[in-house]
Structure 1
Amino acid sequence: MIYIIRHGQTDWNIERRTQGHTDIALNINGIKLAELMAQKIANLKIDSIISSDLKRAYMTAQIINKKFNKNIETDKRLREFSFGTLEGITREKITPEIWDDFNKNPKKFNAEKREEIFNRIKSFINDIKSNDKNILVVTHGGPIRMIKYYLENGESFNDKKYLAEYMTIKINNLDLFIIDEEMNLIKNNL
């Protein structure tokens, strides 16, 4: 079984700033909520924990790991999307025209193309899916959406389909998902 958790809250989440690869730590509330999540999932059998290497995810993994006492492996493939020059800017200041331009040409903003993100997420899932262990993954909203896309659509990436059907899926801090035996991503409401 694969369990996936989005990292805890940061000040930039509250300020609605685009985080991407910017390495922001959890805030006090994020720490408290991660502690609460650790209590909620304490009865799960977890064999290993893999986290994004970014602070907000790794801190979340460390807090949760107090219940499991496992080594935490970091994996850069689990990083949030790189938003390039849009990182640190509030959502209110990024006009629909800027988002549209960004979605058409992320490289213009020194950001990752979504297909690059798809390829790193596909590689990660393929590496762990045949594992017989119960794995806890701590990552970000963008990679969780991309995991869902990959599990539902397979090996090839269609940017228009991703933007239309997956980009707007709401994923809150510390939402828990499970990849079941049939490789479906299911939200778990503890």
Structure 2
Amino acid sequence: MEATRICLVRHGETSWNAEKRIQGNIDVGLDETGLAQADAAAQWLSPLAIDALYSSDLLRARQTAERLAAALRRVPILRPEFRERRYGLFEGLTYEQSRTRYPDVYALFEERVPDFVIPYGGESLQQLHLRVSSGLRRLVDEHRGQTIAVVTHGGVLDIVNRLVRGTSLRQARDFLIPNAGINWVSASGDDWRMEAWGVTDHLTIVGLDELP
């Protein structure tokens, strides 16, 4: 079976990233640095033959994908399964505010309890894993033997890394997820391989990794 190669790009920086404020599904756009990062990622990828371009439908991802689209000559296809995790009552707060206001809830979040659903519309890590892995497998089925790009979010990339490496949702993160970082994985059936992760050679200012 021919492998599908997937280039996963985290969206560029937003002002909320800089403030360490939790965005979740709130629609925050890119700041000036984020727009420059998206342009740099687009230029870096422009020589490559990309067969299709996908994106989360949240604004910060769409704005990043629009820059890639111009360079890759591909129209972005929006897929809500690649949205950021729903962080419920934490959305709009900084990580420190979340920890201070909701210490018991934040402790479960910080401990990465897989089946813990963040209150008020949030998702558990298990729910996020199911959403993201199902979306990725769908792309692999639709693009066997092709190379595609996906613009997405930090929480989604956390899941992708664990899916590919076979690591536990509970395990503390041991990898970077910088804004506008470029990550390459490939899949043939259920055989996932990591090709490159957290590439920032294209960025003059290395993207933030403000995630817990």
Shared fold by TM > 0.5?
A: yes
Q: Does 1:122 align with 2:138?
A: no
Q: Is the 8 A contact 2:45 2:72 kept in 1?
A: no
Rounded Cα–Cα distance in structure 2 between residues aligned with 1:135 and 1:117: 22
Q: State the distance in 1 between where 2:44 and 2:151 align.
A: 15
Structure 2: how far apart are the matches of 1:83 and 1:20? 5
1:31 & 1:91 partners in 2: Cα distance? 24
Deviations 1:117-140 (A, max 9, x none): 111111111112242221010000
State how far apart, in whole Å, the 2-side matches of 1:143 and 1:20 are. Answer: 11
CA separation in 2, counterparts of 1:93 and 1:68? 40
Please state how far the C-alpha of 1:141 moved relative to its aligned partner.
Answer: 0.8
Partners in 1 of 2:88 and 2:24 — Cα distance?
Answer: 8
Higher mean C-alpha displacement, 128-137 vs 32-41: 128-137
- Give distance in 1, aligned partners of 2:95 and 2:175: 16
Name the stretch that deviates more: 168-177 or 2-11.
168-177
Structure 1 ranges of 4+ moved more than 6 A: none
Q: Which blocks of at least 5 consecutive residues in structure 2 are unaligned? A: 202-212
* Residue 94 of structure 2 corresponds to residue 83 of structure 1: no
| C-alpha distance in structure 1 between counterparts of 2:175 and 2:57, whole Å | 23
* Residue aligning to 1:70: 74
Distance 1:183 1:128 in 2: 13
Give the Cα–Cα distance (whole angstroms) in 1 for the partners of residues 56 and 45 of structure 2: 19
Q: Which runs of 5+ in 1 are unaligned?
A: none
Q: Which residue of 1 aligns with 2:146?
A: 133
Partner Cα distance (1:165, 1:6) in 2: 20
Q: Does the C-alpha gap of structure 1 residues 123 and 9 become closer, same or farther in structure 2, counting only changes over 3 Å?
A: same
Alignment-mate amino acid for residue 160 of structure 2: I
Q: CA deviation at 1:109?
A: 4.1
The AA in structure 2 aligned to 1:56 is R
User: Separation in 2 of the partners of 1:184 and 1:50?
Assistant: 20
Percent identity over paired residues: 26
Structure 1 residue 68: deviation in Å?
1.5
Q: Residue 81 of structure 1: SS of its match in structure 2? A: coil
SS of corresponding position for 2:53: strand
Tell me by how many angstroms 1:189 deviates. 4.6
**What is the TM-score of this pair, normalised by structure 1?**
0.88
- Asked if the contact 1:86/1:109 (under 8 Å) is kept, the reply is no
Instruction: Give the corresponding residue for 1:163.
Output: 170
> Partners of 1:110 and 1:119 in 2: how far apart?
17
Q: For residue 165 of structure 2, what is the aligned residue in structure 1?
A: 152
- Residues paired across the two proteins, number: 183
Give RMSD over aligned pairs: 2.0
Partner Cα separation in structure 1 for residue 136 and residue 119 of structure 2: 29
Instruction: Tell me how far apart the structure 1 counterparts of residues 152 and 56 of structure 2 sit (CA, whole Å).
Output: 5
Bigger helix share: 1
Checking the alignment, whether the CA contact within 8 Å between 2:180 and 2:200 is kept in structure 1 is no
